[in-house]
């Protein structure tokens, strides 16, 4: 690994000072499960690595506050997947967190790090999109809230400004009953990156939100107000027409090794229908959402 300096600020103010002083020569270290790979292979070549884990304001927990689930910026996948409120009200996020990497990876990888890396294949991204998450970003200039749909820009690119850190991710609790699910397609069972990763949430009035990743430069969110997506009894033609519209944004790259564009588009359609049916059954059954 190429040498770099290591800073371990004790407060957010110290962290912002270090990040501002070094600009693009500094990189923030949370769980490290992506960053350390890139430091080793040389795709990230910082002068300074800023370890965020000794910051006094560090919040690695999950809390219910003012009708929202607040996921601390330091919370790891293991804890998100096991959280009772996630399992009850944000099932798709729990399911997504549970398939990120292996147990060893989930013990280190943070949700904040996952979204900041902005991989098109990030498994948690579709769930955050269907749940309407907000990203709390802090920097020396203050705090702002960024809707998750505005946060993702392209591969490795987010709305985060230089020197800003994600200190929390907030998800509003549902106002009605909701069923939701995360599904994905991988080359093999177990520990693998997704060829298609997708989440669907259906409200009890039939309104559906569908988000899909690994089929274009960033994960996409679409909505269906007609009730057709979540209606397993709708005609195949009606659903096919709707899917043509909902999935029109998918543009998988031909350069990816994991799967061909044609395969990804075919599987995206299969998974979208499957997810809508599961989500609709979950809302009807009153099961976890």
Q: How far is 220 from 239, CA to CA, in rounded Å? A: 19
Residues 122, 212: Cα–Cα separation, whole Å: 10
Closest contact distance (angstroms) between CB of 51 and another protein is: 6
How many chain residues are in contact with another protein, going by CB under 8 A? 28
- Binding of residue 68 to another protein (CB under 8 A): no
Q: Are the CB atoms for 140 and 120 separated by under 8 Å?
A: no
Binding mask 226-265 for another protein (x = CB under 8 A): ----------------------------------------
Helices (runs of H) and strands (runs of E) counted in the chain: 11, 14
Beta bridge partners of 210: 200, 222
Among 3, 42, 84, 142, binds another protein (CB under 8 A): 3
Options 55-63, 104-112, 152-160, 264-272: segment touching another protein (CB under 8 A): 104-112
| Residues paired with residue 65 on neighbouring β-strands, in sequence order | 68
Least distance CB 102 / another protein (angstroms): 2
What is the spatial order of strands in the sheet that 194-203 belongs to? 178-186, 194-203, 208-213, 220-224
159 lies in the site for another protein, by CB under 8 A: no
Stretch that binds another protein, among 105-113, 149-157, 194-202, 203-211 (CB under 8 A): 105-113
In the set 104, 140, 235, 251, which binds another protein (CB under 8 A)? 104
Give the integer Cα–Cα distance in Å for 215 and 156: 15
102 sits near another protein (criterion: CB under 8 A)? yes
Q: Could you say which residues in the range 177-206 bind another protein, by CB under 8 A?
A: 190-191
Write down the least CB distance from residue 108 to another protein, Å: 6
Helix (H, G, I), strand (E, B) or coil at 128: helix
Distance CA 71, CA 128 (A): 11
Query: Could you give the CA distance from residue 247 to residue 118 in angstroms, rounded to a whole number?
Result: 20
Scan residues 27-56 and list those touching another protein (CB under 8 A). 29, 32-33, 36-37, 39-40, 47, 49, 51, 53
Residue 105, interface with another protein (CB under 8 A)? yes
Please check whether residue 159 is in contact with residue 146, taking contact to mean a CB–CB distance below 8 angstroms.
yes
By the rule CB under 8 A, 114 interacts with another protein: no
Q: Does 85 bind another protein (CB under 8 A)?
A: no
CA distances from 138 to 40, 190, 278 (A): 28, 35, 37
- Residues contributing to the site for another protein (CB under 8 A): 1-6, 8, 29, 32-33, 36-37, 39-40, 47, 49, 51, 53, 78, 101-105, 107-108, 190-191
């Amino acid at each position: 690994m190429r040498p770099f300096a290591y800073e371990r600020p004790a407060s957010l103010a110290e962290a912002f000072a270090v990040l501002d002083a070094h600009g693009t020569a500094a990189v923030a270290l949370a769980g490290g499960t992506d960053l350390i790979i890139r430091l080793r292979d040389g795709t990230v070549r910082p002068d300074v690595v800023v370890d965020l884990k000794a910051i006094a304001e560090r919040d690695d927990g999950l809390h219910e506050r003012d009708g929202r689930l607040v996921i601390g910026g330091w919370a790891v996948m293991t804890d998100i997947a096991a959280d009772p409120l996630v399992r009850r009200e944000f099932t798709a996020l729990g399911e997504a967190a549970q398939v990120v990497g292996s147990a060893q990876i989930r013990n280190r990888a943070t949700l904040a790090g996952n979204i900041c890396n902005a991989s098109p294949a990030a498994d948690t991204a579709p769930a955050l999109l269907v749940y309407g998450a907000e990203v709390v970003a802090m920097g020396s200039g203050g705090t702002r809230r960024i809707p998750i749909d505005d946060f993702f820009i392209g591969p490795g690119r987010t709305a985060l400004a230089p020197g800003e850190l994600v200190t929390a991710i907030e998800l509003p609790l549902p106002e009605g009953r909701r069923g939701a699910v995360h599904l994905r397609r991988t080359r093999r069972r177990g520990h693998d990156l997704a060829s298609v990763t997708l989440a669907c949430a259906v409200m009890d009035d039939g309104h559906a939100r569908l988000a899909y990743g690994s089929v274009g430069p960033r994960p996409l969110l679409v909505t269906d107000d007609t009730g057709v997506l979540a209606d397993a009894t709708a005609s195949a033609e009606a659903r096919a027409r709707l899917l043509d519209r909902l999935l029109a944004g998918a543009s998988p790259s031909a350069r990816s090794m994991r799967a061909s564009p044609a395969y990804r588009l075919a599987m995206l359609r299969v998974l979208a229908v499957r997810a809508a049916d599961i989500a609709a059954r979950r809302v009807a059954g009153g099961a976890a959402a």
